[in-house]
Every structure is written in C-alpha cells, then in structure tokens.
C-alpha cells in the first residue's frame, strides 16, 4: 500500500473511532451540564445496548426491532438508575456522587459478565455490500452509519435545546437552578430525563459500533473512559468541544496505533487525559466555549 493511501486509511479509521467517542462524550457532557454529575457508568450503557441487541438479533428479531427495543431498555435503565441512586443521594458531595456512578458501572459490568460471559459477540453490518473506495482507502459502510448517527444526534440536540419548550427549560435550569424552579421547571425531572436520554444515546452508539468492534461485557470501560477524555479535551461542559475532542482523539489513536504500536492505543488516550488535566483543566478547545449547551 502506498504511504499516502495508508495515511488516508488511518484517517478514516480515526474518524470512525472519533465519532463514537464524540457520541459518548455528548451524552456525558449533556448530563454533566444538566446535573453536575460526571456519569462514569456511561460506557456500560454502550456495552449493554450492544449486547442486548446482539442477543435479540440472535433470537430472531429483525435488526430494526432489536435496535429499538435495546435502546428503550437501556433508556429505562438510565432513568431507573437516576431515580434509584442519583436522586436518593441528591445533596451529597460531588465526590460521593462520583463514587456512586463508579459503583453503578462496576455492578453493571459484573451483571453483563454474568449474563453474557467473556465471549466476544458481533452483529452483521446494517447495509450489505463491500467497502467504498475513496482515494486509495477503503471505507466500511458501517462507518457512514456511525457518521450519520453522530450528525443526527448533534442536530437533534441542537433542535431540542434551541427550538423546543422542554429544551429551553433544560437550558434554563442549567443556567440558574433556583430561577428555573421559580418559573415551574422541576430540576429533578430534568435530571431524570438527562439520564434516560444518555442511556438511549449510549445504547444506540453501542449498537452502531457492534458490527465493527469486538462486543464484550467489558467493552464499555475503555469506551466510557475515552468519552471522558474527549469531553475533557473539550472542557467538560462544551458540546462542540466534546465532538471535536472525540474526533481528535480518534485520529490520534488511529495514527499512533497504525504507525507506532497498537499497544499504545489505549495509553495515548490516558496520556492525553493526564496532560490536559494537569496542564489545562479547562480544556484545550477553549476558543469555542462561549456557551454551555
């Protein structure tokens, strides 16, 4: 393979990975903005979504139905966990809430281990047909589905926050909780909805990547972590920054794994995380942080 073709190929791989990280980061940042909680169980929503869809598809359900049911189930789980753990612990310190989400995440991972074991599962690609060729590089059609999901999610978030009554209510309660309460917006409902939505979004992301990655009970841990890295690069409360951070991280990972060593892939993300936290905790994408949502 020509070196330019190889670089282009790695770029497409990086963009695909990066879109996934962006999706997870979007869910994290939206929840963080609304509730002030960094949900470390977000990665488990991704894993559970993928595993549930795999099981239902294997049981004979059509792909679209498996997708819908899986997304609904994980959304319900997200909402349930918010009621069960986050709502009951309201008023606790930020540290306590983080420990709670870490506890939830390892419980969910253990549950997935018990149900699905340590095997690796896979889903067929959403559309038939071989790879598309752009330049000298092959693009997996599933990557296009993933780009599409990211674009739709971004557009959907934008439309929700800018055009709908509920979106404006959420924005209001981010800007000023007390004032939003005074005009009849219940922050507890908003928090519940945020967790439900991030469950749905996580599950959707998991199902979209299931055809191109290894689907295992513990896939959520690293994916969730990389979502944080993407969010932290973007400054943790910045939606645009999170998307760019995810794509940046995906491309960096792809090039370092392809050109240096594949063992380095996971280390890169964490080195970036530590570097950003220690040097510039406000995020490195500072130019586009004029508003929170």
Q: Tell me: does residue 108 bind other proteins (CB under 8 A).
A: yes
Q: Tell me: does residue 106 bind other proteins (CB under 8 A).
A: yes
Q: Tell me: does residue 259 bind other proteins (CB under 8 A).
A: no
The closest of 17, 14, 19, 22 to 137, measured between CA atoms, is: 14
Q: Tell me: does residue 7 bind other proteins (CB under 8 A).
A: no
Residue selected from 1, 76, 102, 155 as contacting other proteins according to rule CB under 8 A: 102
Residue selected from 61, 63, 69, 98 as contacting other proteins according to rule CB under 8 A: 98
State the nearest-atom distance from the C-beta of 174 to other proteins, in Å: 17
Calculate Rg over the CA atoms of the chain: 19
Burial class for 147, CB neighbours closer than 10 Å (0-12, 13-18, 19+):
middle
Kindly indicate which of the ranges 70-78, 107-115, 141-149, 237-245 contains the residues binding other proteins, using the contact rule CB under 8 A.
107-115
Contact 146, 18 (CB under 8 A): no
Q: Tell me: does residue 178 bind other proteins (CB under 8 A).
A: no
State the nearest-atom distance from the C-beta of 105 to other proteins, in Å: 7
Residue selected from 96, 120, 122, 189 as contacting other proteins according to rule CB under 8 A: 96
Q: Tell me: does residue 281 bind other proteins (CB under 8 A).
A: yes
Q: Tell me: does residue 110 bind other proteins (CB under 8 A).
A: yes
Give the total of residues touching other proteins (CB under 8 A).
41
Alpha carbon distance 209, 215 (integer Å): 9
Alpha carbon distance 85, 75 (integer Å): 15
Other C-beta atoms closer than 10 Å to the C-beta of 96 total 10
- Which of 204/229 has CB closer to other proteins? 229
Residue ranges of alpha helices (H) inside the chain are 3-35, 42-58, 63-81, 94-116, 141-163, 165-175, 177-182, 187-209, 219-233, 239-259, 264-279
Alpha carbon distance 233, 7 (integer Å): 24
Residue selected from 7, 63, 72, 271 as contacting other proteins according to rule CB under 8 A: 271
The closest of 244, 201, 194, 273 to 22, measured between CA atoms, is: 244
The closest of 244, 247, 254, 250 to 287, measured between CA atoms, is: 244
Residue selected from 136, 277, 286, 291 as contacting other proteins according to rule CB under 8 A: 277
State the nearest-atom distance from the C-beta of 37 to other proteins, in Å: 9
Q: Tell me: does residue 270 bind other proteins (CB under 8 A).
A: yes
Question: Which residues ranging from 224 to 243 are in contact with other proteins (CB under 8 A)?
Answer: 225, 228, 232
Alpha carbon distance 205, 155 (integer Å): 16
Residue selected from 55, 107, 140, 213 as contacting other proteins according to rule CB under 8 A: 107
Q: Which residues bind other proteins (CB under 8 A)?
A: 38, 85, 88-89, 92-96, 98-100, 102-111, 113-114, 117-118, 221, 225, 228, 232, 263-264, 266-267, 270-271, 273-274, 277-278, 281
């Amino acid at each position: 393979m020509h070196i330019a073709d190889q670089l282009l190929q790695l770029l497409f791989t990086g963009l695909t990975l990066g879109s996934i990280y962006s999706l997870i980061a979007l869910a994290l940042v939206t929840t963080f903005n609304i509730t002030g909680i960094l949900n470390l169980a977000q990665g488990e929503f991704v894993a559970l979504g993928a595993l549930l869809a795999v099981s239902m598809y294997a049981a004979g359900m059509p792909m679209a139905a498996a997708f819908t049911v899986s997304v609904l189930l994980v959304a319900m789980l997200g909402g349930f966990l918010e009621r069960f753990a986050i709502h009951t612990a309201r008023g606790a310190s930020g540290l306590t809430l983080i420990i709670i989400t870490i506890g939830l995440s390892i419980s969910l991972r253990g549950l997935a281990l018990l149900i699905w074991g340590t095997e690796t599962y896979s889903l067929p690609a959403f559309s038939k047909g071989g790879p598309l060729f752009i330049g000298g590089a092959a693009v997996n059609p599933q990557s296009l589905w993933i780009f599409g999901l990211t674009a739709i999610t971004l557009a959907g978030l934008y439309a929700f926050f800018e055009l709908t009554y509920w979106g404006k209510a959420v924005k209001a309660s981010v800007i000023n909780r007390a004032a939003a309460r005074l005009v009849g917006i219940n922050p507890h409902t908003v928090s519940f909805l945020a967790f439900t939505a991030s469950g749905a979004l996580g599950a959707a992301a998991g199902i979209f990547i299931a055809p191109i990655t290894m689907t295992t009970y513990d896939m959520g841990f690293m994916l969730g972590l990389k979502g944080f890295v993407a969010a932290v690069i973007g400054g943790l409360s910045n939606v645009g920054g999170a998307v760019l951070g995810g794509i940046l991280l995906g491309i960096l990972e792809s090039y370092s794994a392809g050109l240096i060593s594949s063992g380095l892939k996971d280390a890169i993300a964490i080195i970036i995380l530590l570097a950003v936290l220690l040097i510039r905790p406000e995020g490195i994408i500072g130019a586009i942080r004029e508003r929170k949502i």
